[in-house]
Structure 1
């Protein structure tokens, strides 16, 4: 889930007074490229296409170089579109708030309430204690807990919450066996937490911002296409997340950082942390009920078509069920938490979710989303998407499986150094246009690109969880890069093969057939 400290925290990070060299270059390079593009004529008689390309080039440059805060760049369409004759601000502004944003905010409100009452911490400790066992199994416990929580709440918040628990176990081990002998275990715990947070976010639509970006940009680009529902995404992405989690665990504990047999884990640290939380209270039980009910309603809202088997959706039983989407569920269930009274003495608010939650919502990410949606809308409205798609028409000769794999690799390594949300929002309209131009179902390109944006495992700057565990002083950049580069390649292979196998079944993709809604698309 995106967060106050977002899944892609670079959008929330304030620009320092002294910009880096790359930021300074980007700050001036963006306007230069913008002006040079305006001097061209991409399509005679259609000046709005060239102007839209100039806006896209400026936003891409500033997003990639982080020249100004990402959310500030996202606001550019609101005044550049009318100034360049592309669209009125009154027509662009509503794009910044839609059902996808409602889903994001509702899910985030539930996540913040879980954090407020330490429900996420209790779940994590339960999982770690249940898995238990030797060093490798303890690492697995941390990874399972981190991945599960990251499916529903901020992966940054999950990493920050899991870090002190992991360090407490590590410190106890170091006291007993020494820092050198427990080095492998320390690195395993830290990398396990970071990689599991990223893998878990893949599994659900609310797990990471790029997933929500895909849902909305696909809807903007192809308004007549079936919407991507929570349940369909979960069925498709959960196996990918599980395989990546298993691969990460195996590589960390059995290939790169094997723990000596004589080093055993003191599990009393976990038991101590559980005792500190005390018995589960009324508020935590209420949040757990709302959380589980929300997940069930999301998964089974729309029909799940699994080949010959179809699981009907509950929304069809309601008089106006066709008007209900995942955002409806998110905001309804979040709203319920405003009505459940607290029973704990000393509670700061009379209800489980207090008014302070609004102040903690990540409005910077909302703006970043909006900027990406406006960019996608501009690509379609001006015809720029069609022009780009035609330029890549030669890719029709490339086997789809190879094309998907290359896209996965490019997205994975590109997001090692750039914002995964901003990068996804830049490239998805282009991949949609390429799909239409080459006769490939757009989702065959768009979904793998989105999934790969969350599979950057090499560098501390690639994702906030990587940065969080790197700050523990228990992991070196070389160690993270060594495991991460192998995982990056594995991720590209896993996403390519799994999506190619189950994607057509879940999304109704027929090989070599472009749907009617795509023919009338970008």
Structure 2
């Protein structure tokens, strides 16, 4: 027992030293890039903001501290370095309030509403019931089952986190997979279909994935509405999903003509943190009806915003208020919301606001002359970069790093081009899936034991090629 404790202690000390080393390295690199050089035309505030930008980027990439902790650090540094010049706290400066405004951003309530809707659907079993009901309409042929699985996963991921959606679909698929022949390649095909659809489906709405929300926050008043985002993002997402369906059917052909889908009738519920079966109390019918009604009304109001002119974040308050008042969402559910993701988004918004306020964006746009370059080439380069780094770190953190830089570089090209760049790069962040740990859906599917690393390499390479191609091509019509 003593030896085990010693080993644990050594492991903790090594991990701590490793984290401290990465933290100090990130700090040193940020200082070398931003403070020590004497840049021409760079104001003191902009220089400090460049330090904050570089420091946060290195911390996110090195994972020296948790990603959400970097967001807190960004805001603290902005307040102390930019709000109180020379640390003069007697100046009665109110600039610090500016850097806290991201906490009250309407966008946060929109994303919070998405979490609330997901929890309500899960607690009342509506997500599982709907998925099972719809899947039966596709029949027992393998290609039809894959279509159904990908379609259900895709649609759910537009409104529910891809993690919860993947956990739910895994619960449905495991009984089917166990009933298949042991060496049937289609077992892998179905799992990969869920992974792809969960990752790509989030592109479809503002609340589908954090990078989308960050893009909307960066664009500010020029950001597209809920419906406008869907009009732009859904076509490339659907085309990418169709290409993946074709690839999966070619690479993982079923050795059985029919698949037994009757097994899913026995599926009762799931635990989205462990993807295992759990027993929960019977849900009263009125709660199910209320969730269906509120969910439908909320989505309908989001989609019809141009007609009734109710702001999307205001509509988002509807499920938050109703579900909490009627006890569908309780204290435990509130505690389980992914607050770390919300804090990460807040950090990104504050970072972008600081870059603009200090004039760092103007300076970056000045020193890098991109006037002679093709804007679509620039977008392609940044899209590939964000996909690359998103494979090794959170795509939310990767988007937080990239989008302020993109806005700074292309601000001189006009608002329509800025919007094209920002939205394209945010969507491309969802195409990072080359490793088993690249995204939560990848990790969940990999934990089934049915997939190998090379399976993710295949879909990852396809995503790198097909994703930017369709996204940039189709969004160019709006530039």
TM-score computed with the length of structure 1 as normaliser: 0.80
Q: Is the alpha carbon distance of 1:427 and 1:487 closer, same or farther for their aligned partners in structure 2, counting shifts above 3 Å?
A: closer
- Give secondary structure in 1 for the equivalent of 2:264: helix
Q: How does 1:312-351 map to 2 (within 5 A)?
A: 313-315=307-309, 324-340=310-326, 351=327
Q: Which runs of 5+ in 1 are unaligned?
A: 1-14, 220-224, 303-312, 316-323, 341-350, 510-522
Aligned position for 2:51? 54
Aligned positions of 1:102-181 closer than 5 A:
102-173=109-180, 177=181, 179-180=182-183
Which of 263, 267, 270 aligns to 2:261? It is 267
Answer whether contact 2:362 2:408 (CA < 8 A) is retained.
yes
How much has 1:438 moved relative to structure 2? 4.2
- Name the SS for the 1:441 alignment partner: helix
Give CA deviations for 1:470-518 in whole Å, capped at 9, x if unaligned: 11110000121023202221011010111113xx2xxxx4xxxxxxxxx
Does residue 497 in structure 1 map to residue 476 in structure 2? no
Conservation of the 8 A alpha-carbon contact between 1:187 and 1:257:
yes
Who is 1:516 aligned against?
none
Aligned match of 1:257: 252
1:66 to 2:41 alignment: no
The whole-number CA distance in structure 1 between the counterparts of 2:257 and 2:467 is: 31
Q: Does 1:31 align with 2:27?
A: yes
Summarize the alignment of residues 39-50 of structure 1 with structure 2, pairs less than 5 Å apart. 39-43=36-40, 46-50=43-47
Deviations 1:303-358 (A, max 9, x none): xxxxxxxxxx112xxxxxxxx42111011233122344xxxxxxxxxx33334332
TM-aligned CA deviation for residue 268 of structure 1: 1.3
2:292 maps to which of 272, 288, 292: 288
Residue deviations 1:131-190 (CA, integer Å, cap 9, x gap) = 2231122122111111111111111011111112211111111xxx3x12x1x1111011
Counterparts of 2:20 and 2:196 in 1: how far apart (Å)? 31
Select between 193-202 and 355-364 the one with higher mean Cα deviation.
355-364
**CA–CA separation in structure 2 for the residues paired with 1:52 and 1:86:** 11
| Contact in 2 for aligned 1:77/1:371 (Cα 8 Å) | yes
- 1:352–1:279 Cα change, 3 Å: closer
Q: CA, structure 1 residues 35+412, in 2 after alignment: closer, same or farther (shift >3 Å)?
A: closer
Two-structure CA RMSD over aligned residues (Å)? 2.4
Q: What count of residue pairs does the alignment treat as equivalent?
A: 447
Match of 1:194 in 2: 195
**Rounded Cα–Cα distance in structure 1 between residues aligned with 2:448 and 2:457:** 16
Q: Partner of 1:151: helix, strand, or coil?
A: helix
2: CA distance, partners of 1:63 / 1:49: 21
Match for residue 374 of structure 1 among 326, 347, 350: 350
Q: 1:51-82: per-residue Cα shift (whole Å, max 9, x none)? A: 11111111000111111100101111332223
* 1:437 Cα offset (Å): 2.8
Match of 1:384 in 2: 360
CA offsets 1:12-46 (integer angstroms, 9 cap, x no match):
xxx98754998565322111123323222324572
Equivalent residue, structure 2, for 1:307? none
Asked if 1 retains the 8 angstrom alpha-carbon contact of 2:431 and 2:460, the reply is: no
Give unpaired runs (5+ residues) of structure 2: 1-10, 85-94, 270-278
User: What is the CA–CA distance in structure 2 between the aligned matches of 1:140 and 1:402, rounded to whole Å?
Assistant: 34
Once the two structures are TM-superposed, the CA of residue 257 in structure 1 deviates from its matched residue by 1.1
* Contact in 2 for aligned 1:102/1:330 (Cα 8 Å): yes
Asked if residue 235 in structure 1 is aligned to residue 231 in structure 2, the reply is yes
